[in-house]
């Protein structure tokens, strides 16, 4: 979702070299990959490293090993990485050790929780980067506090919102999604008000007690408002492994397989509220004006709380139920769309990157 608008903008910038799109294969479900690329009108990757799953160490090391040969085979002006996944850090490490400039898009976000693997990836990638593009102004102070020179930092807006605004008109209606799940007519009418749930963080789904607590409160929440849950494969596997499937046996909990980007846009855009532990969904719900409950103890995207629709409720059942009931009764907080979340972040990045590369006297 972050790379799609950026690839289009880089391809359209005459002063930039043609980008080479590398898919590491960290997210490796073939059907979902193909659907996501089609939904976002993305070109087929020029290179697929086909890394697949593994522990953080194994996956990061294998990406590094395979990405190194990509850089050895081409003359590279810079390596652009986005977000905070293992691929981000792995590719940044390889490029930095080869003295190839690293450009990090979505820099400076901090949860200040080093137990999150993504936090480690963010901090280290930012330290390796020559150019850092931020999505919100608070990121600037995070970076300068960590010793990064202000001249490297540029506030450009949010690529996630570029994708959302460009694709919102193509969102799949929730009625169509319900029909595919077996609901139609009067049955579907009972789901006109609903909550969306996503859950995948290891802290929530890998610990049996934490997962059981969340499933118990979810069951209680569904007595207030029906819940539609596109379930991550990792979460589904853990529910089965920990023998917790009985907690989902409720008529107002609809579990779905992983959904495509346009389906998720459709579900979120007409939801009464969204419950999630995803960082990106916190941003998307703020842009959509949909109340969001973050099922974590912290967020690396504070602007979604300060200006947007997000409330960090953690895993406390009382806090979850109190906030959910308040949203159902009052409509919840609506907030406003943050600065530069206007659908043009990719254009700003491409324009600035072209000028920056030229100023570095790099051979384009």
Instruction: Measure the CA–CA gap between 337 and 348, rounded to whole angstroms.
Output: 18
Separation CA 171–CA 300 (nearest Å): 27
Q: Which of 154, 200, 232, 351 is catalytic?
A: 200
Question: Secondary structure of 114-138 in the HEC alphabet?
Answer: CCCHHHHHHHHHHHHCCEEEECCCH
23 is catalytic: no
Say if residues 105 and 133 touch (Cβ distance below 8 Å).
Answer: yes
Residues 271 and 228: their CA atoms lie apart, in Å, by 9
284, 330, 279, 278: which is closest to 309 by C-alpha? 284
Q: Name the strand (E) or helix (H) holding 208.
A: helix 208-221
CA–CA separation, 319 vs 329, rounded Å?
15
Cα gap 291→294, rounded to integer Å: 10
Residues that are catalytic: 200
């Amino acid at each position: 979702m972050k790379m799609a608008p950026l690839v289009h903008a880089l391809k359209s910038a005459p002063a930039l070299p043609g980008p080479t799109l590398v898919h590491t294969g960290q997210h490796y479900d073939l059907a979902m990959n193909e659907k996501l690329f089609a939904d976002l009108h993305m070109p087929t990757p020029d290179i697929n490293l086909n890394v697949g799953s593994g522990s953080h160490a194994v996956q990061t090391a294998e990406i590094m090993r395979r990405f190194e040969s990509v850089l050895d085979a081409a003359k590279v002006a810079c390596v652009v990485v986005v977000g905070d996944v293992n691929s981000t850090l792995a590719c940044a490490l390889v490029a930095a050790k080869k003295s190839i400039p690293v450009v990090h898009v979505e820099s400076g976000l901090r949860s200040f929780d080093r137990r999150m693997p993504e936090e480690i990836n963010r901090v280290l990638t930012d330290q390796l980067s020559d150019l850092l593009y931020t999505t919100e102004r608070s990121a600037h102070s995070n970076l300068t506090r960590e010793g990064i020179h202000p001249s490297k930092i540029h506030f450009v807006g949010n690529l996630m919102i570029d994708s959302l605004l460009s694709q919102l008109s193509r969102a799949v209606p929730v009625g169509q999604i319900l029909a595919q799940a077996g609901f139609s007519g009067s049955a579907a009418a009972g789901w006109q008000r609903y909550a969306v749930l996503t859950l995948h963080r290891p802290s929530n789904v890998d610990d049996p007690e934490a997962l059981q607590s969340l499933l118990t409160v979810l069951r209680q929440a569904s007595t207030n408002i029906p819940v539609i849950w596109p379930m991550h494969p990792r979460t589904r596997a853990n529910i089965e492994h920990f023998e917790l499937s009985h907690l989902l046996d409720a008529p107002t909990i609809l579990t779905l397989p992983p959904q495509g980007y346009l389906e998720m846009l459709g579900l979120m855009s007409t939801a009464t509220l969204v419950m999630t532990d995803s960082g990106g969904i916190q941003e998307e719900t703020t842009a959509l004006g949909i109340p969001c409950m973050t099922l974590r103890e912290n967020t690396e995207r504070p602007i979604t709380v300060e200006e947007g629709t997000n409330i960090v409720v953690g895993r406390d059942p009382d806090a979850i139920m109190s906030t959910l009931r308040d949203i159902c009764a009052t409509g919840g907080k609506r907030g406003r769309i943050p600065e530069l979340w206007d659908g043009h972040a990719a254009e700003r990045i491409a324009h600035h990157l072209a000028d920056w590369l030229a100023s570095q006297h790099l051979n384009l």
